[in-house]
């Protein structure tokens, strides 16, 4: 069975689920007191894989990222460590605050974009492609330094972008005329094709998905959902993608960062 056919079947099943449930009510965001990480929906084996760094496949990207952190790049001949020294100290809590507002751009940038800004503006090196091995490794390494810390989203300058992300999250789109909120707000207690529908809190990104057999970014996961909805994809790094990230991280404020997490 092709990947496209599998997604089409899942999308059809999702549409049937909503039709039978008669979902015509207004969307209601999950209360802060009821928020649950996707970790809570994992089976015993997957939890054990995430909890043990020697078994967590995402740690391979952390090791690669550590090597890149100390590798000189670009015509500046500088490594990340030359400016930021020990990542365990300088990067502690950083990933928990992204996407963050960039005054020079008048908009939020996500962690991947910040790494590329440093590369192009500080190291005089080419930017790294989204989902490339090196960008995922560096992002995972930086995110790992914030594991266990609470996600923060208190910058008032982010508010307009949070609202844009909220609009995208609750807007019906695609051939199936579905919204993200129909799964992750209204029906997170239900199952689709035997799999639990979670609350979509991005606590573990970059994340190792067993389905992918590799690590991937939050934007890759968002694009997967859009494919399932048969909707137009947002480009990597687009204002729409970053706005959705910003909104989702705001929804998860106060929850602990788990990166690199493991999911089915």
Query: How far apart are the C-alpha atoms of 168 and 180, rounded to whole Å?
Result: 8
> Are the C-beta atoms of 170 and 115 separated by less than 8 Å?
no
Name the one residue in this structure whose structure tokens are 């054990």: 48
| Other CB atoms within 10 A of residue 84 CB | 15
Nearest to 166 by CA among 30, 18, 39: 30
Query: How far apart are the C-alpha atoms of 26 and 35, rounded to whole Å?
Result: 19
User: Which residues are designated catalytic?
Assistant: 225
In order of 19, 93, 158, the CA distances from 150 in angstroms are 37, 8, 18
Query: How far apart are the C-alpha atoms of 136 and 127, rounded to whole Å?
Result: 13
> Are the C-beta atoms of 261 and 215 separated by less than 8 Å?
no
The token pair that represents 68 in the structure block: 């890149």
Nearest to 77 by CA among 114, 125, 116: 125
Q: Cα-flanking dihedrals φ and ψ of residue 193, to 5°?
A: 55, 35
Let me know if 214 is exposed, middle or buried by CB neighbors in 10 A (0-12, 13-18, 19+).
middle
């Amino acid at each position: 069975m092709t990947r496209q056919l599998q997604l089409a079947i899942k999308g059809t099943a999702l549409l049937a689920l909503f039709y039978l449930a008669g979902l015509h009510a207004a969307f209601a965001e999950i209360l802060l007191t009821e928020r649950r990480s996707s970790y809570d929906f994992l089976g015993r084996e997957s939890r054990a894989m995430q909890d043990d760094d020697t078994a967590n496949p995402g740690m391979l990207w952390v090791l690669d990222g550590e090597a890149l952190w100390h590798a000189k790049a670009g015509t500046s001949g500088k490594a990340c460590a030359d400016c930021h020294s020990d990542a365990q100290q300088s990067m502690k809590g950083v990933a928990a605050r992204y996407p963050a507002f960039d005054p020079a751009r008048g908009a939020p940038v996500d962690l991947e974009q910040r790494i590329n800004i440093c590369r192009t503006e500080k190291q005089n090196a080419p930017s790294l492609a989204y989902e490339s091995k090196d960008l995922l490794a560096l992002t995972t390494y930086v995110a790992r330094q914030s594991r266990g810390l609470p996600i923060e989203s208190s910058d008032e300058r982010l508010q307009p972008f949070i609202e844009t992300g909220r609009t995208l999250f609750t807007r019906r789109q695609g051939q199936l005329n579905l919204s993200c909120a129909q799964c992750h707000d209204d029906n997170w207690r239900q199952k689709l094709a035997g799999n639990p529908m979670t609350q979509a809190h991005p606590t573990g990104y970059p994340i190792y998905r067993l389905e992918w057999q590799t690590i991937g970014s939050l934007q890759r996961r968002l694009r997967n959902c859009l494919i399932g909805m048969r909707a137009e994809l947002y480009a990597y790094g687009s204002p729409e993608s970053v706005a959705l990230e910003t909104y989702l991280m705001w929804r998860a404020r106060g929850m602990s960062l788990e990166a690199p997490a493991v999911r089915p």
